A and B are shown apart, each in its own frame.
Chain A
Amino acid sequence: MTSNQLENFRIPIGPQHPALKEPGHFEFAVDGETVTDASVRLGYVHRGIEKGTEGRNYVQSMYLLERVCGICSHVHATAFALGVERLAKVEAPPRAQAIRVLVGELERIHSHMLWLGVAAHEAGFDLLFMYSWRDRETVMNLLENITGNRVNYSANLLGGVKCDITDQHEQEIRTGIDFLEERTAYYLDVVSNDAMFLRRTRGIGVMSPEAAEQLGVVGPTARASGVARDVRVDAPYAAYVDHPVNIVTETAGDLEARFKVRIKELFESYRLIRAILDNMPEGDLTTRMPRRVKPGETISRVEAPRGELFYYIKSNGTDTADRVKVRTPTLPNMGSVLALAVGHQFADMPMLLAGIDPCFSCNDRMVSINAPGGDTQQWTWEQLRQYGIEYYR
């Protein structure tokens, strides 16, 4: 084969591929086993959620937005609720804020443990996968009993929360996280000491702090490269104001560091949960929330398990939002995969992908068309409709 043909030996990962549980399309050009080029195409699960909010009232939109992501659903609802509450100039009572953060941290535990299992599976270490998911059941059960659902908990209401933390809950949570803390320490030992596993993580996908800054990565991916970036610290919201978070960073910037950062963050979550339980404010769970929200616009930022989650909400005086814009953490992180891929072994690609904890359905929201001429333009709703009609004619 000529070198040109070699260049063209491109291996697709996705949109249907065992490594990805969601559709995303990656193409890696390989020379033997070494990756020489990488490209990504997203947008397979564009669901029109932002548009969907324009036809629903605020209450309904919250549940719709909660479904942007199946894993970090609570933070989406929280971000939206905090934003709408700010627009409506109401403030949820302190107890509600504390419960929001409590559920949010439990969700972070569930998300990170899920990720640990998935990443281990990508590396072909199914033992860790099975055990971490088994232990994750603990936190799933806790969430189920506190909020009523195992996923998409719907704990939030506009102006408060639905679920209370009773003494019995408190007891359950404490036993649950005691158990999980012990297990987490064990998994930390596994990911930092298992020689065979370290062969697949140590020194793979190293991202320097400068590169991390340049790529604009967020969340644990950034923190693993030593960039201390966490919305809970930089702009505390809800009960994080009273319960400051200690930021966890690693300096190595490789896959091993990403494992360690996420696992160490779990300890921080356990500490936070205990602190909140110790100082649970008394009082109401909800406050009165007007159905119509005065015109205005706001942004709302929260720290999802995968990084910074950004909401922009514009109201127009009705009970329906004028515009909601969401930016999920996977989008800024996606660039890092492409930047890091070149020069690595093809076998490392699934690991590298999993390393940013991607969530494709979160990602896919905007339609931008690359015309053959090369200029990127945005289409209006009308044009899009027209295009659709003509396409199917």
Chain B
Amino acid sequence: MKLSTMWKEALGSLVQRPATEKYPFVRQEAPEHLRSKLHWDLEGCTGCSLCAKDCPANAIEIITIDKKAKRFVFHYYVDRCTFCGQCVASCNKDCIELVNNEWELAALDKDNFELYYGNDADVDSVLAEPAEADVEEPITA
């Protein structure tokens, strides 16, 4: 039994640099396998909607413009996404990727949290229409 067991450590810390990081002045590099913002590639997408079905957070909506011509718009709610990576595993056409370096996603405006991926023309046409309410809202109250 000693009166204090940690005094050496504590004294050492006086001359050591603090372990606290001064974010946002100092940023660590994102780990290679970190999952952050989702990116979607129209190439190869069959519109099967498996990604949307399996997403636990209802963060994905596949809007079909023209199934034959393979024109889809991928509506992604950044604020709902939990970055679980299930959509990547569910999609067997490798359309979805969660990149590792876009993790600072806070924003002041709600508009930043809704993203539309797809052909510019298709996205414009989706945006022109009044929003449909076919994505189940998460229960809030």
Binding site for B on A (CB under 8 A): 56-57, 59-60, 62-64, 127-128, 131, 134, 137, 141, 144-149, 152, 154, 157, 162-163, 189-190, 193-196, 198, 286
Please, how many angstroms separate the alpha-carbon atoms of A190 and B56 in the complex? 43
A60 / chain B contacts, CB cutoff of 8 Å: 54-56
B1 / chain A contacts, CB cutoff of 8 Å: 193-195, 198
The reply on B82 being an interface residue by CB < 8 A is yes
Q: CB < 8 Å: which of B19, B33, B88 contacts A134?
A: B19
Check B34–A145 contact: CB distance below 8 A: yes
Please, how many angstroms separate the alpha-carbon atoms of A149 and B90 in the complex? 18
A163 / chain B contacts, CB cutoff of 8 Å: 33
Within 8 A of A (CB), among B70-123: 82-86, 88-90, 98
Q: List 27 A-B contacts (CB under 8 A).
A: A59-B90, A63-B57, A63-B86, A127-B6, A131-B6, A146-B33, A148-B33, A148-B34, A148-B85, A148-B98, A149-B83, A149-B84, A152-B82, A154-B82, A154-B83, A154-B84, A157-B86, A162-B85, A162-B89, A163-B33, A189-B5, A193-B1, A193-B2, A195-B1, A195-B3, A195-B4, A196-B4
Chain B interface category by residue count: 20 to 34
Check A141–B90 contact: CB distance below 8 A: no
Which residue of B has the minimal Cβ distance to A159? B89
- A57-B5 CB under 8 A given contacts A148-B35, A154-B84, A163-B33: no
Binding site for A on B (CB under 8 A): 1-6, 9-10, 19, 31-35, 53-57, 82-86, 88-90, 98
Kindly provide the distance from the CB of B102 to the nearest chain A CB, expressed in whole angstroms.
Answer: 13
Which residue of B has the minimal Cβ distance to A137? B19
Check A194–B56 contact: CB distance below 8 A: no
Check B5–A190 contact: CB distance below 8 A: yes
Check B2–A194 contact: CB distance below 8 A: yes
- A57-B54 CB under 8 A given contacts A144-B34, A145-B34, A194-B2: yes
B10 / chain A contacts, CB cutoff of 8 Å: 127
Which residue of B has the minimal Cβ distance to A148? B35
A194 / chain B contacts, CB cutoff of 8 Å: 1-2, 4-6
Check B9–A131 contact: CB distance below 8 A: yes
Check B34–A195 contact: CB distance below 8 A: no
Which residue of A has the minimal Cβ distance to B53? A57
| Most chain B beta-carbon neighbours within 10 Å: one of A144, A148, A193, A194 | A148
B35 / chain A contacts, CB cutoff of 8 Å: 148-149
Check A145–B3 contact: CB distance below 8 A: no
A128 / chain B contacts, CB cutoff of 8 Å: 6
